[in-house]
Structure formats: C-alpha cells, structure tokens
Amino acid sequence: MTSEHPLVSVIIPVYNGARYLRAALESVFAQTYRHFEVIVVDDGSTDDSGVIAKSFPDVIYIHQENRGVAAARNHGIDAARGEFLAFLDQDDLWTPEKLTLQIYQLLSHSDLGYTLTQQQYFLDPGGSLPPWFRKELFSTVHTGWVLGAMVVRRTVFEKVGNFATDYSAANDSDWFFRAKAAGVSMAVVPELLLMKRIHDANDSARAKEILAELLKVVKSSLDRQRSQ
C-alpha cells in the first residue's frame, strides 16, 4: 500500500439481490482507481446472489445469517483491510471516476473524514415507476446523503462507531448524524458519481417504517445535543 494509492475496501451488502448485483459489481471493477478490494456480505440470501458474487474471482465473499443490512455492513467493516472504506448498495451503480476523485480529495485534505458525491436517480429498465416516487426527481442531480455516495477514512469509524443494527432502514442517516455530532469534517465532490436505481422493490417503498425510524434518529440526535 502506498500513500499515493491507499487501499480502499468496497463493501457491498446483498440480500436476494441477484437481479442487480452483477451490474453493481461491474461498476466497481470498471473504476479507474485500481487499488481496492471488494467485500460482498451476503445477508442470508435465498436466491443466486452468492453464486453471482463468487463468479467474480477478485470478490471476497462472506455469508452470514439474515441479520439486516447494518449488520452486513458492519461485518464487511470488520473484514476490511483498507485505509479507506466505500459502500455500494446491491442495486446501484458507480461511475468510473468515483474512487479516483474521492480518494484524491481525501488525500489532498487530511482534515476531511469523508466525502460525498452527487447522485441521480434512474428507473430500472423495463420497470414501472413506484407510486411513492416523484418522476420529476429523475431530472435532478443532487448531493447524495447515502452510503453509496461516501468514501470515508477507516479511522472515522473508530471515532463514530459502526452502523446501528436496531435501524432496518435509517442506519445510514443515524450514522451521518453521529458523525456530525462527533465533529467529523466532510466535503462534497461536485461530480455525478452515483446512480441510484429506482424499482418496485426499493427499501424506500417502506415509507411509513422509514419515516418512523427517521423521526427516532432525529430525536436521538437532539437528545445527544442536549446532553452535550
């Protein structure tokens, strides 16, 4: 590992994601930045997710009993060897320059704990628009406050902690709130580097559950601020 090209651990949790996993992995292996390892954590899939992951010879494949996406990500963090960590959901895609641009930003600014990128939604080819999604959002490019848009120093997790497993859908939002409370500095890379796939099986379809968890996350954040 060199300081100019540090190892990045790319962690992909998967649960019954055979339909999209190959495309997600191909977008990682198409990166212009080459010094990375890919860890797929299979959260008890019953489809061919494991077969697809293991068909890539450079993938580190880990299987666990179904314990949720946060536990899968944490398992990936424990197995990671990289100085930097990156995350990708099983149904999303990176553009080829993602790791190059974000690692350059982090190496150029030693005070930054993590960077985010711009993201854009796209409809799954041949799929129908879910009723909860507003179609005008397809035309917008915006900052992605999601893990797929993040590259982070491993040391930040030592400061903030891993993902909270008691959230099934909002563990990423909870982590971002905790990182802010811990004073972790961040920056947004202006390029569009994450493509978020919209389909009828998106977690976002569980709108009521997500809203309830987000309210819990905000309350926990406010409680932390008051205690400080």
Mind listing the pLDDT tens digit for each residue in 83-128?
Answer: 999 999 999 999 999 999 999 999 999 999 999 999 999 988 877 6
* Residue 221 pLDDT: 64
- Conformation bin of residue 171: beta by default, left when phi > 0, alpha when psi is -120 to 50: alpha
Q: Which of 188, 190, 164 is nearest to 177 (CA)?
A: 164
- CA-based max dimension of the chain: 50
Q: What percent of the chain has pLDDT over 70?
A: 84
- What structural domains and CATH numbers belong to the chain? 8-227 (3.90.550.10)
- Per mean pLDDT, which range of 25-29, 166-170, 185-189 is the poorest? 166-170
Tokens linked to 57: 């010879």
Residue 206 has pLDDT above 60, yes or no: no
* Residue 118 pLDDT: 97
* Residue 22 pLDDT: 98
* Residue 1 pLDDT: 44
* Residue 223 pLDDT: 65
How much is the pTM? 0.88
Apex CA 171: angle with CA 226 and CA 78, to 5°? 110
Residue 214 has pLDDT above 60, yes or no: yes
At a CB cut-off of 8 Å and minimum separation 6, what does 105 contact? Answer: 112, 115, 187, 189
Residue 155 has pLDDT above 70, yes or no: yes
* Residue 134 pLDDT: 75
Eight-state DSSP code of residue 22: H
Tokens linked to 210: 């997500």
Eight-state DSSP code of residue 98: H
Residue 204 has pLDDT above 60, yes or no: no
* Residue 224 pLDDT: 65
At residue 37, the 3 state secondary structure works out as strand
Positive or negative, the Cα torsion across 196, 200, 206, 211?
Answer: positive
Indicate the average pLDDT of the chain. 90
* Residue 4 pLDDT: 82
**Section 76-86 average pLDDT:** 98
* Residue 19 pLDDT: 94
Q: How far is CA 207 from the centre of its chain?
A: 19
Q: Which of 192, 17, 19, 196 is nearest to 122 (CA)?
A: 196
